[in-house]
Amino acid sequence: MIPVDGDFILEVAPVFSGRLAQRQREIIGEISGDFEAVLRRHDIDTALRIAHFMGQVTHECAGFRTTEEFASGAAYEGRADLGNTERGDGRRYKGRGLIQLTGRANYRRIGERLGLPLEDSPHLAAAPLTSLHIACDYWKSRAINRHCDADDLIAVTKAVNGGTNGLQDRAGYLRKARAALARRMGVMVAARQAGPDPVLRRGSFGRAVEEMQRLLAAHGAALTIDADFGPGTETALRAFQAAAGLEADGIAGQKTWTALRG
């Protein structure tokens, strides 16, 4: 498991001052010691999965400065689709958690899975550590890891949000999480093969990806140099490989590195 803790979260989260900074430190401080273990328990255990989780959660909880939605919850009153069938349920079961849990039925369902009385005591969902467990349980129950493994930000966002609200913000946090993970690991996320260069494929990131992108650009490819092996980089690499007479598999192995440098 890649080491992730409170310092890692702070590397990804926005910087606040005053009261907001204090609240952010409180929330992160309460989840820091358990963060890695809880993620591992829910199979959020690769760089791509962790990075996407951070990209989504950091947006959802407004930069780790709240575990409760800012609105009153009155808009959810009478929402039978959320299980809000009793008077006051809208406010009582407003959004809480790092990924906001909303509605009586959802509080009941996740409470049963986690062994917590969330329906009877909905404010428990706003406790930072509980909110982390809720977010990870939601993530696993929706099988979001499969979208992370495909590095599909839009699919991950739709699974979390139901749409693509805040996509640009989520993408920014995803990039920050990738960079923070690369620094922590000391190597980019990629398998290595015999030879001096790493094998790079879609989902890799870090200094080696940046080097490859610069070499591709020197060969005439039009791509963004951002140290992130996304679909644009893969397309450029496949085109280069085909032109160089290599298998156009979109994976940078030793033959591709040699051709790039040649």
Q: What is the pLDDT of residue 1?
A: 61
Q: What is the pLDDT of residue 186?
A: 60
Q: What is the pLDDT of residue 225?
A: 82
Structure token digits, residue 151: 């590095």
Expressed in angstroms, the distance from the first to the final Cα of the chain is 37
pTM: 0.71
Mean pLDDT for each 10-residue chunk of the chain (262 residues)?
84 95 93 93 93 96 95 95 96 95 95 96 96 96 94 94 93 93 63 62 78 92 84 94 95 93 88
Q: What is the pLDDT of residue 197?
A: 77
Structure token digits, residue 165: 């609200």
**Helix, strand, or coil here: 112?**
helix
Domain boundaries, the chain: 6-185, 207-261
For the domain spanning 6-185, the CATH number is: 1.10.530.10
DSSP letter for each residue of 33-94: TTHHHHHHHTT--SHHHHHHHHHHHHHHTTTTT-SB-SS-SGGGTT-GGGT--STTHHHHT-
